Amino acid sequence: MLTKDIAEYLKELFQEIAADKGFEVVMAEIGEMDHIHIFASAHPKISPSYIVKMLKGISGRLLFIKYPEIKEKLWKGRLWNSSFYLETVGSISEEAIKKYIENQNTKG
């Protein structure tokens, strides 16, 4: 579902959304062509769940505008499901996170 063109567009959208909402997407990569790994940085006042909500909600709407045909390929017409996994840098190193995310685009 997440072709190279769509993946690149999503990465651009994530950068624009982050800049608009006051946080930073340090890196983003597609994992196995069906999910995305994002390394984000934000002021402590910005909650991680807010970051996820903004990235999923805004990117989903804009992606359907640019690629309306993909909505038909999705289960119930939804791009994102409601789940997500979150890990903080405090529990593992920033370098370990970056290396893991960088390796995602080599799979699939």
What are the Cα distances from residue 15, in Å, to 21, 54, 61? 10, 12, 15
List domains and CATH numbers for the chain: 4-106 (3.30.70.1290)
> Residue 40: phi, psi to the nearest 5?
-120, 155
pLDDT per residue, tens digit, the chain (108 aa), is 678 888 899 999 999 999 999 999 999 887 766 778 898 999 999 999 999 999 999 999 999 899 888 887 776 777 788 888 887 777 677 787 778 777 776 544
Residue 56: the pLDDT is 92
9, 50, 67, 100: the catalytic one is 100
100 in active site: yes
What are the Cα distances from residue 88, in Å, to 17, 23, 78, 91, 103? 21, 15, 27, 6, 19
Which pTM value belongs to this model? 0.80
